[in-house]
Amino acid sequence: MDLNELRKEIDIIDRELVPLFLRRMNVSAQVAEYKRENQMRVLDPSRERALLEKISQLSGEDFEEYSRILYSTILDLSRSYQYKRLGTESPLYREITDALENTPRIFPDRASVACQGVEGAYSQIAAERLFKAPNICFFSNWEKVFDAIESGMCRYGVIPIENSTAGSVKRVYDLMISRKFRIVRTVRVKIDHNVLAKPGVALSEIREIYSHEQAISQCASFLASLGPGVKITRVENTAKAAEMVSESSRLDVASLSSRSCAAQYGLQVLASAVQDNGNNHTRFICITNHTEIYPGADRTSLMVVTPHKPGALYRMLSRFNALGINLLKLESRPIPDRDFEFMFYFDLEASVYSEKLAQLLAELEAECDEFSYLGSYSEVI
């Protein structure tokens, strides 16, 4: 047989397979109704294990693996269709619909906002992009920003989550695993790192530079060009670095900080925009301790723990594909004190009003070992 004849044979087989697949899905719908009437869960692990074992035996050694993959996908689709038939009425779905009804139509101009650092920090710049008149409270670390939100001391917190050059802020993701919060908005801030020193000092006189580790990473080429005679010292914040320079009795110290810190701390700019990549942006999340969803929310963030077995993450990602939901970001972090277990962080592009998003959330809530909805929001560019 030539290739065209073989393809015709496949076409004939497909015409037989599709009606059988549709017939199977229709029976799945009847199964869903039975489970509804008898208050049974959609997922029946023992039934699926037995079915996959039977399929393996029927397929023979050569095709066993392929058949298991095929039927695992069919079972995923069957459960997805059952969830769709049963609807999305769950505690999380009610939380989201309540937030859509009760959240004000306009994002607030004024609010108490927690930021890490001191005056001039990039978190402050992000907060001022989000709010017209924020009442900013500064804290020494990100843990205390989360504490301020959880305790109700501040209504919102602004925290960096990733940089276009240096990547994700790992410590923030680790904190997110154990904290209770909701994301209500995100913002991208253009980052320009500048060398700041006391007035009258030349760049050639600098022997030590203070900055945050992310800024140091983003300016690696420039710092290397200064030679081994310049010490690089990590501090908790770029604005704190500028404050340290202004308060130091030394004239040979400088900071990598924002230009606004120069005016804030009476420093001069020795070198401007010294980051390695001119297109350098940091993305900040705005968090609160209860669910708020403002109009235009087209992104959703989730954290999920998948079963510790082969193919678990792939099967989850296949749900996004099947529902036509675009995945914007995937981050994995090890779970403390749990060997070889990971939390997966997802950013999804989907309107909060989408039925497909509601269906996805219902499926994940029902089937994942651990699942956290972090919020639906829009991003300020």
Catalytic: 282?
yes
Task: Point out which residues pair with 323 in neighbouring strands.
Answer: none
User: How many angstroms separate the first and last alpha carbons of the chain?
Assistant: 58
* Catalytic entry in 88, 165, 282, 291: 282
* Catalytic entry in 107, 139, 146, 284: 284
Radius of gyration of the chain (CA): 27
CA distance 343 to 370: 9
Check the CA dihedral 334-336-340-345 and report its sign.
negative
Contact 345, 303 (CB under 8 A): yes
Contact 342, 378 (CB under 8 A): no
Catalytic: 238?
no
DSSP letters for 7-22: HHHHHHHHHHHHHHHH
Residues 6+ apart with CB under 8 A from 70: none
Which pairs from 68-74 meet CB under 8 Å and 24+ separation? 69/311, 72/311, 72/315, 73/315, 73/318, 74/21, 74/24
Instruction: Please give the positions annotated as active site.
Output: 282, 284
